Amino acid sequence: MTSLKKTLFAPEDQLLAELAKALAHPARIAILKELAKRDMCICGEIVEVLPLAQSTVSQHLKELLQAGLIKGTVDGVKSCYCINWEAFDKISGLFSAFFSKTAEKSGKCC
């Protein structure tokens, strides 16, 4: 405890773990799916779709922003969020690289 051991790992592993953490809550998965479903950006509609308080949703959005998965712009009173496709593709690539690089094994064990 007291210490942040995470920084002792390979940056590559830290990055993937961070991205995985951004996906590690059903609310954030649901937000991403909702954003993808609609062609246009949404804002407060997300709050109505999710079984969470507005402040909580705002927090989840902030985390997705910080992870780079979405981007948000202020549009008058409302805030408009949408998926950051470039980052999304890159992240998708990181995951599939992780899975496939790992998977080309013979499976001698167990």
Partner DNA sequence: GAGATTTATCGTAAAAAAACGATAAAGACT
Partner DNA sequence: AGTCTTTATCGTTTTTTTACGATAAATCTC
Q: What are the residues binding DNA (CB under 7 A)?
A: 1-6, 21, 24-25, 27, 43-44, 47, 52-56, 58-59, 61-63, 72, 74, 76-79
32 binds, among DNA, a second copy, none (CB under 5 to 8 A by kind): a second copy
Q: Are 80 and 73 in contact (CB under 8 A)?
A: yes
The DSSP call for residue 80 is E
Burial of 37 (0-12, 13-18, 19+ CB in 10 A): exposed
Beta-strand pair 70-75/78-83: antiparallel
Helix (H/G/I), strand (E/B), else coil: 30: helix
58 binds, among a second copy, DNA, none (CB under 5 to 8 A by kind): DNA
Return the residues of window 22-81 that contact a second copy according to CB under 8 A: 23-30, 32-33, 36, 39-41, 51-52, 71, 73, 80
Closest C-alpha to 60, from 39, 93, 35, 85: 35
Contacts to a second copy by CB under 8 A: 5-6, 8-10, 13-14, 16-18, 20-21, 23-30, 32-33, 36, 39-41, 51-52, 71, 73, 80, 82-83, 85, 88-89, 91-92, 95-96, 98-103, 105-110
